[in-house]
Structure 1
Amino acid sequence: MKVEIWMDIVCPYCYIGKRKFEEGLEKFEHRDSVEIVYRSFEVDPHMPINANDDIYGLSAKKFGSTRAHMKAVHDDITKRAELDGLTFHYDTAIHTNTFDAHRLLHYSAQFGQTNELLERLYKAYFTDSLHIGDVNTLVTIAGEVGLDVAETAAMLESEQYAAEVRADELKAQKLGIRGVPYFVINGKYAISGAQTKAVFTEALQQAWTEEHPIVQIHSALGDKEAPSCLDGSCAVKH
């Protein structure tokens, strides 16, 4: 069973949604049979690598609001994240472009390190206030999760995996995805936003049941009048 997850590293609900999905997956009996594929989505593709303002000022300009209002919004998000054991430091966060970080995630897939890298990138941005748009920072983070530093640096200096990022974003556009996180199970069931773990567990179970239906074996191979337990009582034919 395949779950595709469109997300961005600077998206708080993508980080929260990842936790919720993982909790829901843990309750799913067939979790070891689930393949998870992370897809790229930039919430602000025009954001420069080195922005000239902090997250509050940038958000105020983007949404036509005030700095004070956007700080209150981000304070609420921080409190929400705490409920899932996540620590956000928006006062010192370095907001930036995430295109190269997405290229790095695609690169990591061949080494089976995507989940570990994504976790580290989220923590780097939200908790550690690192500049995840900076190539040197990305190389250091890659090394922390076991990727070769020299090879990672060479990849980031090239245009490798740019096409893969754009392909994910084009697919999102075709699917009508306008916000993240966005989860697609078996190409059929879609879940938008950081839902509860119960929602994810139920959706996984529904997709699994549809993919593995129970086949009834009727009287051609057995006695359909054979004794069985019904309505709380068991009857045996004599």
Structure 2
Amino acid sequence: MGKIIGIDLGTTNSCVAIMDGTTPRVLENAEGTTFRQMTHDRTTPSIIAYTQDGETLVGQPAKRQAVTNPQNTLFAIKRLIGRRFQDEEVQRDVSIMPFKIFHHFKIIAADNGDAWVEVKGQKMAPPQISAEVLKKMKKTAEDYLGEPVTEAVITVPAYFNDAQRQATKDAGRIAGLEVKRIINEPTAAALAYGLDKGILATVLSRFMTWVVVLSIFPLSKSTKLTAKKPSKFWQPTVIPTWVVKTSTAV
């Protein structure tokens, strides 16, 4: 059975990790970064560029040539994935993103009303573009493991709706990955922290991202959750399988 990789498909940077025994391990990319460098050097910019000779660049190579090829360099595509063109967030991005000022590159409405990008007259869906970043992550993992990788877990922001989550899965499929699960980013971080500690973490608020470490007691199907109320927006996430109590906050 092959490895299942974990991918953080970020708006600005992305990274890929595997389980090395019982420890999550973020992998170096092809640009030659090492674990002796800072953590952010193990990430890959979520930037995609299309050169004049038809080559597709992803990550640092795309970032380096952005100054000389801005009209064909895409970034922050995650802000469009799974969204409708008329969405308030998309219209705000249209007004501030530089894409629209170039003749060859702009945010457009697809036939079905989704927000797409047009490059040199070619209409492209955000999942199609994001798939290039996922392919890069897939290749990084395959180079490290020395074997094909076909399955992945991808993290998304906790506020992503069903359409955005499905679009992320579509991007994985285009990249040649079977997406086994879409996990909220705070939940993924909490699970990685507590995987070997017998603890669980949860997000307590949509307005404030809290990662709270919980002790798990498999005693009954009732739920007990205690935490300090930070604001009027605070609403606890209920976990109906275990009796839990707040142990530590991180």
Q: Which has the higher strand share?
A: 2
TM superposition score normalised by structure 2:
0.25
Asked which structure has the greater CA Rg, the reply is: 1
Q: Which has the higher helix share?
A: 1
